[in-house]
């Protein structure tokens, strides 16, 4: 018995395109394994003239209303940014549709409102793809550690910063390393979101809300990687250590403390081994002990893999 599930796709850029490709490849297997036929009912794009591989031109539109009119069961928000995304996600929830999103900026800014609204309307919000791309850290915190007590989170959450620091260990300058990251497409053209730590802080905020939900927020410590010199990196290496841009959170005196900053790590530290654009998260939980997750934290296909897993999970529960 196969059930048809319609997906309204908002955004068909890097990750949206990856999702179209992945769904094209896996649709048949998902039908066999999970009994769900996933069909894209409509795709919102900015430029309606551009051809999209694997997408029927008939279902492409530049008006969000068309996507909602296509009667989707699940709305997938991949346009990014806060304002438009918040409006579309709100409209989807109000029309009792579950949402899947990769939008860390939206969730860091308005996560609790979005989740409360979804709860009120009895729909779900899947957001695995918003942090650490294809590495399933959100599901682990939400479900895998539901009976445990998280004590701290420590991670490398921004691939661009880690890529730059790794290339500096290989002797390249900050500027050359940043240019390389931009060329490869994982640093933004305007890189301050990455290198000043805002992106890592958004992700840390999302993870901490799940792990420590309800604890009042304390002081936030935020610094980026612009100050690092080749001399610093070399001195660390000579001492058998590495410089990493580390995001961490823990409860201290009843208050949640978030910090994103440069740290000098010993070679044996699990985060010291994280190289190039990889991400990692170390979760310390009272019963489970220390759990480490490592993988590609960005990129079209890893992120699309997380989006598709959320879609299947929600479609199966419906």
Options 134, 155, 191, 197; binder of a copy of itself; rule CB under 8 A: 134
The 202-241 contact track toward a copy of itself, x by CB under 8 A, reads: -----------x----------------------------
Nearest CB to a copy of itself, comparing residues 28 and 94: 28
Nearest CB to a copy of itself, comparing residues 11 and 133: 133
How far is it between the farthest Cα atoms of the chain? Answer: 63
The C-alpha angle with vertex 133 and arms to 132 and 137, in degrees rounded to 5, equals 50
> Residue 222 belongs to what H/E stretch?
strand 217-222
List the catalytic residue out of 50, 51, 104, 203: 203
Options 73, 128, 194, 199; binder of a copy of itself; rule CB under 8 A: 128
Note whether 111 binds a copy of itself by CB under 8 A.
Answer: no
Nearest CB to a copy of itself, comparing residues 64 and 210: 210
Options 57, 122, 147, 216; binder of a copy of itself; rule CB under 8 A: 147
Options 61, 110, 182, 292; binder of a copy of itself; rule CB under 8 A: 292
Q: How far are the Cα atoms of 196, 202, 256 from residue 220, in angstroms, in the given order?
A: 14, 12, 9
Determine the interface stretch with a copy of itself among 47-55, 182-190, 221-229, 279-287 (rule: CB under 8 A): 279-287
Confirm whether 203 is a catalytic residue: yes
Q: Give just the sign of the alpha carbon dihedral 103, 105, 107, 113.
A: negative
Note whether 290 binds a copy of itself by CB under 8 A.
Answer: yes
Alpha helices in the chain (DSSP H): 14-34, 64-69, 83-94, 104-121, 137-139, 159-169, 174-183, 192-195, 198-212, 230-238, 300-317
Options 133, 155, 159, 224; binder of a copy of itself; rule CB under 8 A: 133
The 299-318 contact track toward a copy of itself, x by CB under 8 A, reads: x-xx-xxxxxx-xxx---x-
CA 99, CA 310: separation in Å to the nearest integer? 9
CA 75, CA 9: separation in Å to the nearest integer? 6
Pairing of the two strands 3-10 and 74-77: parallel
What's the first-to-final CA gap in the chain, in angstroms?
15
- Residue 107 near residue 134, CB atoms below 8 Å: no
The 28-67 contact track toward a copy of itself, x by CB under 8 A, reads: -xx--xx---------------------------------
Nearest CB to a copy of itself, comparing residues 128 and 199: 128
CA 168, CA 237: separation in Å to the nearest integer? 11
Query: Which residues have a catalytic role annotated?
Result: 203
Residues forming the site for a copy of itself (CB under 8 A) = 18, 22-23, 25-26, 29-30, 33-34, 128, 133-136, 139-140, 143-149, 213, 270, 273, 285-296, 299, 301-302, 304-309, 311-313, 317
């Amino acid at each position: 018995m196969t059930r048809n599930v319609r997906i309204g796709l908002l955004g068909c850029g890097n990750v949206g395109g990856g999702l179209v490709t992945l769904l094209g490849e896996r649709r048949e297997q998902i039908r066999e394994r999970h009994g769900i036929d996933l069909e894209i009912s409509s795709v919102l794009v900015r430029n309606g003239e551009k051809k999209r591989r694997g997408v029927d031109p008939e279902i492409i539109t530049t008006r969000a209303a068309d996507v909602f009119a296509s009667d989707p069961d699940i709305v997938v928000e991949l346009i990014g940014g806060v304002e438009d995304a918040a409006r579309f996600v709100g409209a989807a929830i109000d029309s009792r549709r579950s949402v899947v999103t990769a939008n860390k900026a939206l969730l860091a800014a308005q996560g609790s409102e979005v989740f409360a609204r979804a709860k009120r309307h009895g729909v779900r919000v899947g957001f695995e793809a918003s942090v650490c791309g294809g590495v399933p850290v959100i599901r682990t915190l939400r479900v895998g550690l539901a009976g445990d007590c998280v004590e701290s989170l420590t991670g490398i959450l921004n691939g661009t910063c880690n890529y730059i620091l790794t290339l500096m260990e290989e002797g390249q300058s900050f500027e050359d390393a940043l240019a390389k990251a931009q060329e490869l497409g994982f640093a933004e053209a305007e890189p301050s979101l990455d290198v000043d730590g805002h992106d890592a802080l958004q992700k840390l905020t999302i993870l901490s809300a799940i792990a420590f939900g309800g604890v009042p927020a304390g002081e936030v410590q935020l610094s980026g990687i612009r100050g690092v010199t080749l001399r610093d990196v070399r001195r660390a290496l000579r001492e058998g250590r590495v410089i990493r841009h580390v995001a961490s959170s823990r409860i201290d005196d009843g208050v949640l403390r978030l910090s994103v900053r440069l740290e000098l790590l010993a070679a044996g530290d699990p985060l010291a081994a994280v190289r190039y654009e990889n991400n990692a998260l170390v979760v310390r939980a009272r019963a489970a002990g220390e759990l480490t997750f490592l993988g590609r934290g960005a990129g079209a296909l890893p992120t699309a893999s997380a989006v598709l897993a959320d879609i299947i999970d929600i479609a199966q529960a419906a």
